């Protein structure tokens, strides 16, 4: 099997890259390879109004239909650097509304649109080996019990923090910080009062995020670190639920939490590092999304970054094929580096301004990496 472009990973970054390539250069053959057998259930996420602009560019008239399946988010409410409650309203945003996403549905619809453009999507396909060749790359792909060899002129690593390609190529990874996500997706009982806003509240051991999602679900997420998990047992369902209920804003926005028992809370634990590759482009390859640079959830960038960088990556790859020039690829790399530098400044600002818990180990550790 031979492709012009093979993309490892079918998350938002990989799909956006594929769509951008096919829109600019429809003659190129593009294959998305993803280990999951279907669009996986993932942590829900809120996208800000800024994401609407890139979605309109990527999907055109289909963006409105896609977003209509998700919940409108009017903004966020937070208690962060002091006891005062802060509001961030999306009402006056010129680019549209924010949304609470059903991630599984969102990614399914994105991939469906990519396939309509002629992208080939291989689900349940695992890349086991990658080797450079004279014409690009040779990849060994397992599809169930079958093993197939693919040849691609250009390979995109969109495999998030697995970095299936760049680790094979021994590209250096620069890690800036690391936190732990503890999350639980809870089914909403009956029709309790739920805040339409994203709710964020800082605590000595980390910070909480809560959001109502489509399908009468509620996402609870605690951003903390290994030391605090070990010290307080935060990954215990009972402890997790008790501490969630202690949040003043959660009591206001999700006052039904106390009706749940610990055995209804199933915690997913995920390590999230802040870091960037030493280079995100190379000879016949490119890294995009969290494979190229990954951010702390405090950035609220998530899907928006993936879509923006995916669109830029796809256009750069198309130009490379069309004109034989690497200028667009170099511009893409410079943008990824520039955006990461902006994120580092944001990280320092958000974690540095919280003086309520200045002596707590979680906050000290976040400030220490910024000052290093």
> Distances in Å between the alpha carbon of 367 and those of 35, 159, 221, 360?
37, 29, 21, 11
pLDDT in tens, 232-241: 999 999 999 9
Q: What is the pLDDT of residue 353?
A: 87
Q: Residue 146 pLDDT more than 80?
A: yes
pLDDT in tens, 317-371: 999 999 998 999 999 999 999 999 999 999 999 998 888 898 999 999 998 887 6
What percentage of the chain exceeds 90 in pLDDT? 66
Please say whether the beta carbons of 77 and 46 come within 8 A: no
Q: What does residue 218 show for φ and ψ, rounded to 5 degrees?
A: -130, 130
Which is nearest to 350 in space by CA: 304, 299, 303, 305? 299
Under DSSP, is residue 10 helix (H, G, I), strand (E, B) or coil?
A: coil
Sign of CA dihedral 92, 93, 97, 101: negative
Please say whether the beta carbons of 282 and 171 come within 8 A: yes
Q: What is the pLDDT of residue 213?
A: 85
Q: What is the pLDDT of residue 194?
A: 64
Instruction: Tell me the average pLDDT across 264-281.
Output: 94
Instruction: Tell me the average pLDDT across 75-102.
Output: 78
Instruction: Tell me the average pLDDT across 87-98.
Output: 67
Exposed, middle or buried by CB within 10 Å (0-12, 13-18, 19+), for 102? buried
In the chain, the domains with their CATH numbers are 2-71+101-174+273-347 (3.50.50.60), 179-270 (3.30.9)
Q: pLDDT grade, residue 278 (50/70/90)?
A: very high
Q: Is this prediction's pTM over 0.85?
A: yes
| Whole-angstrom distance, CA of residue 122 vs CA of residue 138 | 17
Instruction: Tell me the average pLDDT across 298-314.
Output: 93
Q: pLDDT grade, residue 189 (50/70/90)?
A: low
| Whole-angstrom distance, CA of residue 364 vs CA of residue 3 | 49
pLDDT in tens, 55-76: 999 999 999 999 999 988 888 8
Query: Can you point out the beta strands (E) in 107-194?
Result: 120-123, 125-133, 136-143, 146-157, 173-187
Letter string b/e over residues 319-344, b meaning 16 or more CB atoms within 10 A of that residue's CB: bbbeeeeeebbeebbebbbebbeebb
- Alpha helices, DSSP H, located in the chain: 12-24, 50-59, 62-67, 103-116, 226-232, 237-246, 248-253, 302-323, 327-352, 361-371
- Whole-number average pLDDT of the chain: 90
Number of H helices, E strands in the chain: 10, 19
């Amino acid at each position: 099997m031979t492709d012009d472009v093979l993309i490892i990973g079918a998350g938002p970054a990989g799909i956006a890259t594929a769509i951008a390539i096919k829109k600019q250069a429809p003659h190129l053959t593009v294959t998305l390879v993803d280990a999951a057998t279907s669009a996986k259930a993932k942590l829900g996420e809120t996208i800000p109004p800024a994401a609407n602009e890139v979605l309109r560019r990527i999907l055109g008239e289909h963006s409105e239909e896609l977003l209509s399946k998700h919940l409108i988010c009017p903004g966020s409410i937070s208690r962060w650097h002091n006891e005062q409650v802060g509001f961030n309203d999306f009402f006056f945003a010129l680019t549209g509304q924010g949304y609470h996403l059903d991630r599984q549905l969102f990614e399914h619809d994105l991939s469906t649109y990519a396939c309509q453009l002629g992208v080939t999507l291989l689900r349940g396909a695992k890349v086991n080996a990658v080797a450079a060749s004279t014409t690009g790359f040779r990849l060994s792909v397992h599809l169930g019990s079958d093993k197939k060899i693919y040849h691609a002129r250009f390979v995109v690593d969109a495999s998030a923090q697995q970095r299936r390609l760049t680790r094979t190529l021994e590209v250096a990874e620069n890690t800036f910080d690391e936190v732990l996500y503890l999350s639980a997706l809870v089914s909403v009982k009956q029709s309790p009062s739920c805040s339409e806003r994203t709710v964020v509240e800082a605590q000595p051991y980390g910070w909480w995020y809560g959001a109502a999602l489509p399908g009468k679900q509620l996402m609870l997420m605690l951003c903390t670190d290994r030391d605090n998990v070990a010290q307080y047992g935060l990954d215990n369902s009972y402890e997790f639920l008790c501490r969630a209920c202690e949040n003043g804003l959660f009591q206001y926005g999700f006052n039904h939490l106390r009706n749940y028992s610990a055995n209804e809370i199933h915690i997913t634990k995920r390590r999230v590092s802040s870091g960037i590759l030493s280079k995100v482009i190379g000879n016949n390859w490119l890294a995009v999304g969290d494979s190229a640079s990954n951010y702390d959830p405090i950035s609220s960038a998530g899907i928006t970054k993936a879509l923006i960088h995916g669109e830029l990556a796809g256009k750069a790859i198309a130009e490379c094929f069309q004109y034989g020039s690497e200028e667009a690829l170099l511009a893409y790399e410079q943008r990824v580096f520039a955006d990461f530098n902006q994120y580092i400044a944001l990280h320092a600002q958000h974690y540095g301004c919280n003086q309520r818990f200045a002596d707590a180990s979680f906050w000290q550790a976040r400030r220490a990496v910024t000052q290093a």
